[in-house]
Amino acid sequence: MAQSRKATLTAYLFLAPAIALLLVFSFWPVGFGSYIAFTQYNLIEAPQWVGLDNFRELFGDELFLISLKNSALYLIVVPAIQVLAILLAVLVNNQLPGIKFFRAAYYLPVVTTVSVVGIIWNFMYNEDGALNAILRWLHMIDDPVGFLTDDRIALFAVMFVTIWRGLGWYMVLYLAGLQAISQDVYEAATLDGANAWQKFWRITVPLLLPTILLCSVMSVLAAVKAFEEVQIMTQGGPFQSTYTALYYAYEFGIKSLNFGRALAASLVMSGVCVVLAWLNFRYLQPKNP
């Protein structure tokens, strides 16, 4: 018994530094931020407890409702990026000459800095930019398209950049999942007369479910917390059409110093993230045979 207690104490001593870091840098900020959501706080004066007032103002604010709608629309990115990443991973999983170059090329947007992404896509989307020039050359348009200035399509243009940036990251995860599947399974299916589609749908997809679950949770949370693309490309415009919930929190917190309202918005979105993550685990988790 004494030996067991000594082993347990030793384990806790080894864990203590990590637990202390978690308490200071994760749990305390979450707890303090949750408290601030119920106060009026502007960094200068001490927090004043206001109960649920911030949440009442939040749901009475049309801009927050627009932000929620845009964040919900942003979830369109999730199935699009997952399907494309799986197809891309299947493609680059083949042993072809120069395949490593293509893998690196697809991953390049992941390591590109946000500022560079902003410069590239602002040029691409500009009315005098490359995309409009290509569309004119193909005789698909007469007048330039305002990808970032038309409030009907600006959010979708920003979402496309999110897909472009994240595709390589998810492709690498799916590639690792594909390479963990034994080739014996495919060979047995071939002997049974399965075609390429049957092998993909009945072998690859089921055996990739753990990776699909991981990637889906990560991409759902990333979509709900979309911020960087909005910040560098549209700043919420035009006509607030690209406001997302996290950008709303940024505007009220960092720019307006209304930390109570900003953290109330963040707390609402944290709840949304928890629900969406639970739904992913509920419906995508592989069933035990």
Q: What is the DSSP string of 78-136?
A: HHHHHHHHHHHHHHHTS--TTHHHHHHHHHHHHHS-HHHHHHHHHHHHSTTSHHHHHHH
Contact 122, 233 (CB under 8 A): yes
Contact 35, 251 (CB under 8 A): no
pLDDT of residue 285: 79
- Is the bond preceding 238 in cis, omega lying within 30 degrees of 0? yes
Query: Closest by alpha carbon to 286, among 172, 205, 229, 221?
Result: 205
Examine the pLDDT at 289 and tell me if it is beyond 60: no
Structure confidence by residue, pLDDT tens digits, 209-263: 999 999 999 999 999 989 999 999 999 989 999 999 999 999 999 889 999 999 9
Give the pLDDT band (50/70/90) at residue 284: confident
Examine the pLDDT at 287 and tell me if it is beyond 80: no
Cα gap 18→195, rounded to integer Å: 50
Cα gap 80→86, rounded to integer Å: 10
As a whole number, mean pLDDT of residues 272-280 equals: 93
Examine the pLDDT at 202 and tell me if it is beyond 80: yes
Examine the pLDDT at 176 and tell me if it is beyond 70: yes
Secondary structure (3-state) at 40: strand
As a whole number, mean pLDDT of residues 18-43 equals: 93
Contact 158, 234 (CB under 8 A): yes
Give the pLDDT band (50/70/90) at residue 106: confident
Examine the pLDDT at 269 and tell me if it is beyond 90: yes
b vs e for 106-137, b when ≥16 Cβ sit within 10 Å of the residue's Cβ? bbebeeeeeeebbeebeebbbeebebbeeeee
